[in-house]
Amino acid sequence: MLTYADSVRYLYSIGNEIKTAKLGLERIRAILDHLGHPERRFAIVHVAGTNGKGSTCAMIEASLRQAGHRTGLYISPHLVEPTERIQVDGQPISEDRFLQAFTRVREAATQLLDLGVIDSHPTYFETVTAMAFVEFADRGVDWAVVEVGLGGRLDATNVVQPKLCVITPVDFDHEHWLGNSLRLIAGEKAGILKAGVPAVVAPQHREAWERICEVASVVGAGLIPVDLGRVGGLEIDSYGCSFSVDGARVRCPLAGEHQVTNALTAALALKNLGIPWEGIALARWPGRLERVAESPDILLDGAHNPAGARALAAHIRRFYGDRKLWLVYATMRDKSVDETAGILSGLAAEVVLTQVDLPRALRPEVLVDMFDSPRVRVAENVGAALTLVRGEAAATDLILITGSLFLVGEARRLLLP
């Protein structure tokens, strides 16, 4: 009899969700049609962008839930368990329900393959996307907040007909798939726009904004630009921020100055839906500037691209500039390592390079010359890196664990068992 562990092993056997991605909507459309189109049984907010997607999704979902709606949240990647990707009413689904949804989707895919309707087995991401829609329909959610996985135009989530679209800041990431210019990347992100569906768009680089406007004009989507000039009475500390917009207060419990943009984007999205935004104060987004220990403080942050690293560096300088910083860093082979390393290494007195337990992990020895810090060492795995820094750091120091969400997930599992 199939178990949850079997389902997870099967998903991993399909291949890494980025490396083996097959952009296109034919397979996911065929599977959802075979399953009776579960994605049409609830209202959807569809969120694309490069940075801030997940936290913006978390804020919107928390407010919808606070307003009394049964909610679904679909995010990627997960930190510890794949069940985190599919959440109902703010909680990851159980292993049993994950297995049930997986079984239904796998059976549908097998039947369609036998009939020659689809050309290959759905990818990891396509499978879990279909599972999320099945689970949300079965659980009777009113609203689902759906985060795009990669790009937007050809992402498996782009089969939905949303009530609202949201585009968070667009920057460089996954250039191999999306293009090597902000204009090309923004065009892929803007592929989620739909005729007659309003879209809240966070502040963008000029060429990204121009491309989003072009796509919106072609498809007939109305854009609602997020203007940071509307923010008043801004207060920021190491735990979050609060500010006023349109005469009402927004309180965001997620750390980082960049969360002002995400919180304002979420607030304006909720205003468009006619939903109070007080629930933003209840949002949780693990692994992003998350403090998981004290004496010394340990921060986890999944800054996996240059834009995320810049935001992280600004936060560290602003709130921890007087601390000695220990940096634990690991990354994947498909990331812009040189630039990210340059941004972060200048902050740290001590750097410990390591690797996560994945085939895509970059060997730490390759990273040594990229970090210009007083002392750079290598640890063979995440556990060894944590033992080293916790054994040597003073109680007043700061330990920062960053570079990959997979690193954050491994560290979180060890620090918060």
- pLDDT digit string, tens, across residues 357-409: 888 889 999 999 999 889 999 999 999 999 999 999 999 999 999 999 999 99
Question: How far is Cα of residue 100 from the mean position of the Cα atoms in its chain?
Answer: 25
pLDDT band at 303 (very low <50, low <70, confident <90, very high): confident
Question: In angstroms, rounded to a whole number, what is the distance separating the alpha carbons of residues 82 and 75?
Answer: 10
Angle at 124 between CA 120 and CA 130, to 5 degrees: 85
CATH 2.160.10.10 fits 288-415, yes or no: no
Mean pLDDT over residues 224-250, rounded? 97
For position 158, what pLDDT does the model report? Answer: 98
What is the DSSP annotation of 69-86? --EEEE-SS-SS-GGGGE
Residue ranges matching CATH 3.40.1190.10 in the chain: 4-227+265-273
38: tokens are: 């579960």
For residues 366-384, b (16+ Cβ closer than 10 Å) or e, as one string? Answer: ebeebbebeebebbebbee
Query: For tokens 């204009």, what's the residue?
Result: 183
Helix (H, G, I), strand (E, B) or coil at 47: strand
Can you identify the CATH homologous superfamily of domain 4-227+265-273? Mur-like, catalytic domain (3.40.1190.10)
pLDDT over 70 (residue 317): yes
Residue 110: CB atoms within 10 Å:
11
What are the C-alpha distances in Å from 276 to residues 68, 176, 376?
A: 11, 39, 48
- pLDDT digit string, tens, across residues 125-179: 999 999 999 999 999 999 999 999 999 999 999 999 999 999 999 998 777 778 8
pLDDT band at 181 (very low <50, low <70, confident <90, very high): very high
Question: In angstroms, rounded to a whole number, what is the distance separating the alpha carbons of residues 258 and 270?
Answer: 19
Question: In angstroms, rounded to a whole number, what is the distance separating the alpha carbons of residues 212 and 168?
Answer: 12
Q: Which stretches of 116-224 are DSSP H helices?
A: 124-139, 175-178, 182-189, 206-219
Angle at 46 between CA 192 and CA 193, to 5 degrees: 25
Instruction: Tell me what the pLDDT averaged over the chain comes to.
Output: 94
pTM: 0.92
240-245 vs 248-252, strand pairing mode: antiparallel
Residue 131: CB atoms within 10 Å:
28
pLDDT band at 345 (very low <50, low <70, confident <90, very high): confident
For position 14, what pLDDT does the model report? Answer: 87
Helix (H, G, I), strand (E, B) or coil at 205: coil
Residue ranges matching CATH 3.90.190.20 in the chain: 288-415
